[in-house]
Amino acid sequence: MPTPMLHAFPDALPLARALHQQLGWPLAEVALHHFPDGESRLRVAASPGGAAVLLRSLHDPNAKLVEVLLAADALRRAGATRLTLVAPYLGYMRQDAVFEPGEALSQRAIGSLLGVAFECVLCVEAHLHRVKTLAEVFPCRAESLPAAPVLAAWLRGEGAPLLVGPDEESEPWLRDLAGRSGLAWCVGAKRRRGDRDVEVTLPPLARGVERALLVDDIVSSGATFAAAARALRAAGVTRVEALVVHAIFAPGALETLHTAGVSQVVSTDTIPHATNRISVAPLLAAALAEAA
């Protein structure tokens, strides 16, 4: 079977190079040009082998989705007969129901668009709630890869902090991470009064807990982590850190965390950010090698 070819947008090149090193597949950059009116023109390398992988994380999705769809069309015209989208962070997954009359079902709308353009979609830790798997969302093969294996590998060099999930939604995958790493864990209860107005209540902590690691899949405003950090400090924890899969980090989020007493923030490279310390390349490389 011919070797698949990796195609990466400029903002995805660091992760794409890591995949290139692990898989040995050829890598080409998507050439991107923006016209003064905001439209995009792009050019891709030929994919004579038939199988092509397009890499781009879909944070800031409104600016990126059209270009991803254009790239899919260009790759088809350049010889690709089977397309895989690797979107380490997959946006628009939170709106999985119509909560108020007149709203769009955003998750299904985006899933339909991408599912028609690609034969396979891979991401890491999709932000799913009522919908449990991407198979319910996409008309093509779609898989959300768990981040726990690479997080647990990183944790093995970090001593024995208490793992803390800020709310009930974090419990299933926090339990998985604790099981892989052998660390104690607990989950708080969150009460949200507004986008940046959050209260977190923690269960009673064991005596002598000095270091806690807040863990979640996404941090955006930082309000939830900040509330959890304040609760941990009030409970006597002297060192509070944070571990996050997707570093969305809206403007001011890191300052919010530091002000609340978070001394260190570590993230994976699903979204390029200064806090990146953990690479998801091993997860993606294994999934791509299996799918090839």
Cβ distance 244 to 257 under 8 Å?
Answer: no
Write down how long the chain is: 292
How far is C-alpha 67 from the chain's CA centre?
19
Annotated active-site residue in 7, 59, 127, 190: 190
**Cα separation, 73 vs 130, whole angstroms:** 32
The amino acid at 126: A
What's the rounded Cα separation, in Å, for the pair 13 and 7? 9
The alpha carbon of residue 244 and the mean position of all alpha carbons in its chain are separated, in whole angstroms, by 9
**216: β partners:** 244
- Known catalytic residue at 190: yes
Contact 215, 244 (CB under 8 A): yes
- Distance of alpha carbon 134 from alpha carbon 128, whole angstroms: 8
DSSP 208: T
Return d(Cα 204, Cα 23) in angstroms, integer. 46
Rounded CA separation 201/191 (Å)? 8
**Angle of helix 65-77 versus helix 106-117 axis, rounded to 10:** 20
What is the Cα–Cα distance from 264 to 137, expressed in whole angstroms?
A: 35
**268 and 276 Cβ atoms separated by less than 8 Å:** yes
Q: In what order do the strands lie in the sheet with 120-124?
A: 27-29, 5-8, 51-55, 82-86, 120-124, 141-145
Which residues are known catalytic residues? 190
